[in-house]
Amino acid sequence: MPVKVLVVDDSGFFRRRLVEIFESDPRLKVVGTATNGKEAIEKVQSLSPDVVTMDYEMPVLDGIAAVVNIMKLKPTPVLMFSSLTHEGAKVTLDALDAGAADFMPKNFEDISRDSAVVKKALIDRVLAVARTRLAGSRAPVEPLAPRKAPKPIVTAKGVIIPRVRKRVGLVAIGTSTGGPMALQAVLSQLPSDFSAPLVLVQHMPAAFTGAFAERLNNICQITVREAKNGDRLEAGVALLAPGGKQMMVDPRNGGCVKILDGDERLNYKPSVDVTFGSASKSYPGKVLSIVMTGMGADGREGARMLKNSGSKVWIQSEESCVIYGMPMAVEKANLADDIIDLEHIGERIVREVG
């Protein structure tokens, strides 16, 4: 059965072009279109699409209000389209907060060209969003069990040697689809006196990461900011890799980050693999890394390097992921030291860092 798509946009050109692209793939079937948010809500209820593509700026009712109502009345995966501006980024984050599963930049020039790359990207994203898990569909998560003290080592001569955990020198988190809300859930649990620096990699366009860092900083007790070349790694400060760039961890000057343009051959800018790999060399055996929700396998090779250097690798559980792609890649490579529900990751980080 093909995936049923509802296309919502007040631009006749954009609607027609999306319909053409989706109908060119036998895995997709456009079951309807809508020109405003009110019409979208009605058609979601009458047509029961598997996924909705949603514009933000529309008459009668905008995209965010439409998403809020859809999630109340008939929860359905939504892919938002937004402009590549700072304001567009803030609107997109509001839409994700309202329940949208993912987003794509709305670029009329790209969509008007008969580009195989653009068509594939759109189709792949819609198919992926159709498979996402909605927050309300997840089973309740059990509370985290009280922490047990590590058992001491008893030698043959009866000498008791307490187990000493390696101090965490750096927390590194990588994520993609579903990541903005997942990072918000995790980082908001960290206290203001958190005693380790953090580096964050979220797959996002360049125009979005600044607004995302601002939002995280406003809701978290720790400090969150978009990383700049030479920024120092400081306890209680999370540096978010800027979109379109690569962020590497540098051990010099007490620990800092380098922001580079990176290799054009890399699929992701920023890339979790690049940041994790550099962290494995800069903080051997002292990194606590977490791979969270997202499409693809970015983070797997970086996790391998971290494991080989003696650091820990955690992944988000399948049940709590929007898309279990990146964590699954780490799990299938037998690199995960622990699999944790999203609701418990923040608390576990606090425990581990101490």
Active-site amino acid positions: 176, 203, 298
Copy the structure tokens of residue 115. Answer: 């580009």
Contact 46, 73 (CB under 8 A): no
Please tell me the distance from the alpha carbon of residue 220 to that of residue 77, in angstroms, as a whole number.
Answer: 27
Question: Could you tell me the CA-to-CA distances from 170 to 173, 239, 278, 299 in Å, in that order?
Answer: 10, 11, 12, 16
Spatial CB neighbours of 159, under 8 Å, sequence gap ≥ 6: none
User: For residue 220, which phi and psi values (nearest 5 degrees)?
Assistant: -105, 155
Please tell me the distance from the alpha carbon of residue 210 to that of residue 88, in angstroms, as a whole number.
Answer: 12
Strand, helix or coil at 34?
Answer: strand
Please tell me the distance from the alpha carbon of residue 310 to that of residue 110, in angstroms, as a whole number.
Answer: 44
Bridge-based pairing of strands 246-250 and 256-260 is: antiparallel
DSSP H or E segment with residue 6: strand 3-8
